[in-house]
Amino acid sequence: EDKVVQSPLSLVVHEGDTVTLNCSYEVTNFRSLLWYKQEKKAPTFLFMLTSSGIEKKSGRLSSILDKKELFSILNITATQTGDSAVYLCAVDYGGSQGNLIFGKGTKLSVKP
Amino acid sequence: DGGITQSPKYLFRKEGQNVTLSCEQNLNHDAMYWYRQDPGQGLRLIYYSQIVNDFQKGDIAEGYSVSREKKESFPLTVTSAQKNPTAFYLCASSIGPATEAFFGQGTRLTVV
């Protein structure tokens, strides 16, 4: 059975901390892994990863994929209260049942 | 502005009623999706459509129906057969497989 597992499910940190969010997967026909940020309603796209070992970076956020060990991490440095959100990991496996399978998300709370 | 619009934002339904959630996109995307989000469950795929006049069931299609008569529109009907419809519903679209999905703001459905 295809699945995507995120950890931790929730995390509380203080402003300025660095956090690492994890996403492991077991899918057939892997095509890509995507990270989304969901603050209140609509998830917004962060990164798409298709190749192992190539870091994607956007400001204080970065992500990398390990296709051998079947996981990805999302790093956020110098966290701010505006980083508080649910971070969703999804895997595009190109299956007949639609394209994306989502993890349950990691709820990040950044305290002032 | 290009985007994906869901309406209404909040919807209340009496037991036994069918309700229809609207999803419209002006991004010229071929693929559209409906997800259900419950607390602690992540996003689960209800239906998806890769092209006009064609759609496929996702993992939790029972009690739901869709249509795709126009490229821009992908309405979801929650029927009385759906035993636990209270949830947050997200519509998404993408250019096609292996590309990022863009999400609408969601509709929160509550059965009263």
Residue B99 CB partners (closer than 8 Å, separation 6+)? none
Q: Do B97 and A43 touch (CB under 8 A)?
A: no
Q: Do B43 and A96 touch (CB under 8 A)?
A: no
- Is A102 touching B (CB cutoff 8 A)? yes
pLDDT (0 to 100) of residue A96: 55
Q: Do A103 and B42 touch (CB under 8 A)?
A: yes
Q: pLDDT digit string (tens) for B62-101?
A: 999 999 999 999 999 999 888 899 999 999 998 876 678 8
Say if residues A53 and A62 touch (Cβ distance below 8 Å): no
Q: pLDDT digit string (tens) for B23-51?
A: 999 999 999 999 999 987 789 999 999 89
Which residues of chain A neighbour B103 with C-beta distances below 8 Å? 36, 42-44
- Is A94 touching B (CB cutoff 8 A)? yes
